[in-house]
Amino acid sequence: MMNSHLIEFSTLLVLFTLAYHFVLRQNKNYVFLRIYCITSVLIAILLPLLPSIFPAQLIRVGTLLPQVTITADQGPILISESTTLSSGNNILFAIYFLVAACLAVRFLLSMITLFQIISKGSQQSLLGFEVLLSDKIKEPCSVFNYILLPQSIPYDQETSKTILEHERLHIKYGHTAEKLFLEVMRIFFWFHPAIWYLKKEIQLIHEYQVDAAMSTNTDYSKYQTTLIQLATKQNSLTLVNPFASQIKKRITMMNSKKNFTKSSYLFLALLLVGGSLFLHACQKDANTSKNTVIEDKIHQAKKADLISDNNSYHSLETKITTDTTIVFNEDTYEEKVEIVKGLHQRAPLFPGCDEGLGFQEMIDCSNERLLNFIYFNLKYPEQARNKNIEGMVVTKLLINKNGNLDDFEILRSADANLTSAVEDVVNQLKAEITWIPGLKNGDQNVNAEFVLPVKFKLQ
């Protein structure tokens, strides 16, 4: 499930990022761009967690056996519900957590440095603005509700006023919160290039928005000159809004006239919403719970007939009844309450798994013997191996109340060669093995069915 969610998250984020890069990037509606960048990440994270919009029409068709994995080199491998991650996955997880931890430590250290500057800075009133002066600051910037300036202010009054108004607008628009959000997202999703790209773009959008607001009360040519003059020094602090950053792109945007029409917004919205819903609807969960659903190939009318037929095949889970019995001891005249467990229903068992075993032990014994039978008789098809074909074959086994394997059905298969190999081993199972029939109501032999998944894997 995690893998399918990660694939959908990555695909959605790529979709939104490509739309921004090729369609929206030169748009001058900066409030919209800010909302777009943040909501793109949120939608990509949250949408895969929602239920499928168009759930598949599936029904449960039988008790699901543990998966058998057939490898080209090593033969079959029995996979139980407690299967651990492969060593390859463990290495990938270790790399992921190592990089995420490094980014998190770097972020925390930067935040500590920033708060130390704020706590130790000299607070002053300058041209009607409350500012903090610090020798740790190389270039004018702002963060949260603070305007930070170098300890010595080498600017004339007009330049200082321009700088302070610029940083005041960053605070007014709440830019730091968005940078903080994307910084945290980068820690968790550092492997996705779109996160790095959006983090860089959101800072540029912030500067575009402030530059546009400055045009209402500032001479643009003088403002651009001021930006160029202060572009020599850069702060290395996280989350700050530097005054002079990415100057070339900002000046180009200031002189640009390009904007979006309402029809363009509508078209883009329909495209992205439709694409997102389509991707979500196509999501396939490869890790569905063992006792949930397998593809239904039985028409509804036929299914109704089977349910009403006494000879239908049942999906039997082992169920145990618990009763209390009062036992009277005539010698001691004492009454004792005993708990008596009985078998209400049970799936068919492989021969030799019913003598002297507990309830769960019978099931474990049967599964092990069945899978061992497949282990020794099923080989990776040579043609499939030569063509690098791998995948899953899901088979339904129908076992009658006499213990005979009446029939079987291939519910799903990745390739005809794989199907043929599974059919051969199931026919051998049908010819050689007589099962201990399934039980219902404690002592009634009934027809039953199993679902056997076999996975062919080259490595």
Pairing state between β 241-242 and 319-329: unpaired
pLDDT in the model for residue 247: 79
pTM score of the predicted model: 0.61
263, part of any domain: no
Per the CB < 8 A criterion, the answer to whether 406 and 398 are in contact is yes
DSSP state of 346: B
Residues 6+ apart with CB under 8 A from 185: 41, 195, 199
pLDDT in the model for residue 263: 67
pLDDT in the model for residue 105: 96
Per the CB < 8 A criterion, the answer to whether 315 and 63 are in contact is yes
d(CA 227, CA 244): 5
* Counted domains in the chain: 1
Q: How big is the chain by its Cα radius of gyration, in Å?
A: 34
How many Å separate Cα 171 from the centre of its chain? 35
d(CA 304, CA 326): 44
21, part of any domain: no
Structure tokens at 187: 């820690």
Q: If we measure between CA atoms, which residue out of 416, 370, 365, 374 comes closest to residue 75?
A: 374
408, part of any domain: yes
274, part of any domain: no
432, part of any domain: yes
Structure tokens at 77: 């491998």
d(CA 406, CA 447): 9
Using DSSP's 3-state secondary structure scheme, residue 398 falls into strand
pLDDT in the model for residue 181: 97
d(CA 330, CA 388): 74
User: To which residue do tokens 């309402």 refer?
Assistant: 262
448, part of any domain: yes
pLDDT in tens, the chain (459 residues): 456 788 889 999 999 999 999 888 888 899 999 999 999 999 999 998 887 655 443 333 346 667 777 776 655 444 444 444 445 667 888 999 999 999 999 999 999 999 999 999 999 888 888 899 998 888 889 999 999 998 887 778 888 889 999 999 999 999 999 999 999 999 999 999 999 999 999 999 999 999 999 988 788 788 888 888 777 556 667 778 777 777 788 888 887 776 666 667 777 787 788 878 777 767 644 444 433 443 444 333 333 333 334 455 555 555 544 444 455 565 665 655 454 444 457 788 889 887 777 777 888 888 888 888 888 888 888 888 888 888 889 998 888 989 999 889 998 888 999 999 999 999 999 999 999 888 877 678 888 888 888 888 887
pLDDT in the model for residue 88: 61
pLDDT in the model for residue 46: 92
pLDDT in the model for residue 321: 47
Instruction: Report DSSP letters for 96-141, one per residue.
Output: HHHHHHHHHHHHHHHHHHHHHHHHHSEEEEETTEEEEEETT-SS-E
Angle, helices 193-214/175-188, rounded to nearest 10 degrees:
170
pLDDT in the model for residue 306: 35
Which residue type, as a one-letter code, is found at position 47?
Answer: L
d(CA 130, CA 146): 8
CA distances 212 to 144, 168, 221, 251, 275, Å, are 21, 14, 13, 11, 33
Using DSSP's 3-state secondary structure scheme, residue 323 falls into strand
416, part of any domain: yes
288, part of any domain: no
Angle (nearest 5°) at CA 453 between 448 and 456: 155
The domain that contains 444 carries what CATH number? 3.30.1150
E runs forming strands in 118-212? 122-126, 129-134, 141-143, 146-150
pLDDT in the model for residue 332: 65
Structure tokens at 456: 């062919």
Q: If we measure between CA atoms, which residue out of 256, 202, 201, 254 comes closest to residue 227?
A: 254
Q: If we measure between CA atoms, which residue out of 260, 258, 250 comes closest to residue 220?
A: 250
Which residue type, as a one-letter code, is found at position 302?
Answer: K
d(CA 174, CA 194): 23
Domain of 427, in residue numbers: 300-316+346-457
Residues 6+ apart with CB under 8 A from 359: 318, 320, 341, 343, 346
pLDDT in the model for residue 172: 94
